Amino acid sequence: MNDYNVRGRSFRTASDYQAALRDEKKIEVILKKYDSFDLKGKEHIINVLNRGEIKFETLIGEDFIFEIEGKHNKFKTSSNGKSKKTKQKSSTSKAVKASKTVKQEKKKMSLEDYDADMQARIKEELFLQEKKRKNTVLICSLVAVLCLGYVFFYYYLYEKNSNEYEHLASLKQSVDNQVHINYTPEEEKKELVVLEKYKKLFSQNKSLIGWIKIDDTNIDYPVMQTVNNEYYLTHNYNQQYDKNGSIFLDKDCDITNPGTNMIIYGHHMSSGKMFGKLDLYSSKDYYEKHPVIQFDTIYEEGRYQIMYVFRSRIYNEDEIVFKYYQFFEASTPEEFDSHMNEMANLALYNTGVTATYGDKLITLSTCDRSEQDGRFVVVAKKIN
């Protein structure tokens, strides 16, 4: 614990120390206005204090009061001029001292040792201090109750959210492991049919475009998509406000006509929900135990082999650098290979997995707190 010193006294807490500094400032103002070496000046100071124009919060103030009164009495004694009026006016400060002395020294002196006027002042001061103490205890108790209430509410929402996603997962109806894409008699056209296991979920929310799951992890969520990348940052599958948000596909991706790369976003929640544990892939050992991502669109099942794990960030528009979050399509083998080389150079480790032009990729992206606007990224290629 830190010690704070002001005018020869030590204070244990920062709040007491700040109060002592305020008292010291008041003392400086008084001394600047009145000459403490002059009898008249001392009397002016004592009158100001007795009238309650300046109130002190700590023992610094009491020390000053006693110092001024001591100098005043000594000056008057040496000049043979004690003043009854000054004694009466200084009784207020003495009452403050007496009341604090009674409390701090556990009443070593009996209250009856003082005259009736002083007893009344002491009782009043003790009453005010007790009232202040009770108010402080009440405020602290209310703050504690509010904090506990927030904690319980947070865990209630956490459990509620977890149960809702478990319920959504139960709505998936496993049929078989085959891809279900139905074609019309005209081979140049194809009709995409929602997989049976996602029909019920899709009927409840047409923003559903798929499901992502990584075995033996908490990542097992529906994937949403809207015309912007903002809505599902703060809303769940049920379209309710939720600070966890949802896992969602970038607005520029199209599951009916997939490009080279589909980018999937999720919050990095401290609770571990959404992509809160995606950065566990910074360990190669973790990758080796979880090398495959299951990402189904509502029309087609898919398994993806992880290729690259790296950290990046959101760059300024005028910065000429590889921006993974703008990579959706590679028009030529050369362009595709260039992007692969950029990712390989950023990779935290070598998985030994590579891709060639024509392969379909997914990119999982979440926030990374290691730098400002940081991102943690996992890239995988479709294997079946």
Domain that holds residue 214: 172-382
- Whole-angstrom distance, CA of residue 34 vs CA of residue 53: 14
Q: What is the dihedral of CA 102, 105, 106, 107, to 10 degrees?
A: -40
Summarize pLDDT for 71-120 with one digit per residue, the tens: 767 666 655 544 444 444 455 555 555 555 545 544 455 666 666 777 77
143 domain-assigned: no
pTM over 0.95: no
- CATH number of residue 229's parent domain: 2.40.260.10
Residue in the block written with tokens 């030529």: 332
Contact of 353 with 280, CB cutoff 8 Å: no
Listing DSSP states for 216-238 in one string gives: TSS-EEEEE--SSSSGGGSB-TT
166 domain-assigned: no
- Chain centroid, CA 246 distance in Å: 20
C-alpha distance from residue 118 to each of 48, 91, 111, 123 (Å): 20, 8, 9, 9
- Whole-angstrom distance, CA of residue 132 vs CA of residue 124: 12
- Whole-angstrom distance, CA of residue 263 vs CA of residue 325: 7
Would you say residue 379 has pLDDT above 50? yes
On whether both 125 and 182 belong to a single domain, the answer is no
On whether both 123 and 176 belong to a single domain, the answer is no
Overall number of domains in the chain: 2
pLDDT band for 304, please (50, 70, 90 cuts).
very high
Return the bridge partners of 11, or none: 4
On whether both 123 and 185 belong to a single domain, the answer is no
On whether both 126 and 232 belong to a single domain, the answer is no
Summarize pLDDT for 117-156 with one digit per residue, the tens: 777 777 788 888 888 888 888 898 888 888 777 666 656 6
138 domain-assigned: no
